[in-house]
Amino acid sequence: MSDRLNDVSPSERVAIVTLELARGRELEPGQVADMTDCDLSTAYRVLERISRVIPLCEDGGRWSLLSGSIDLNIG
């Protein structure tokens, strides 16, 4: 995690993880915890919150954006 992200708020955690998922990354909860400087239970909550509004799938412990679910071409 970058030094600029010292006290990351819950909203900022969600934004960080959502951006990585939108970029096509598959993330394990441990990776989410590392990238947002939180514990594993918080990482699961972040992924669950995101999945309430953005279609995610979990396969073998790896979370990703459901293929074809969001068109990121703007304009």
Domain locations along the chain: 3-65
pTM for this predicted structure: 0.80
Residues 6+ apart with CB under 8 A from 57: 63, 64, 65, 66
Task: Determine how many CB atoms are found less than 10 A away from the CB of residue 75.
Answer: 2
Nearest to 32 by CA among 43, 41, 48: 43
Q: How far is CA 60 from CA 27, 29, 33, 57, 74, in A?
A: 11, 11, 17, 10, 32
pLDDT at 6 over 80: no
Domain range 3-65, CATH architecture: Orthogonal Bundle (1.10)
Instruction: Tell me the per-residue pLDDT of 13-57, one tens digit each, with 9 for 90 and over.
Output: 999 999 999 999 999 999 999 999 999 999 999 999 999 999 999
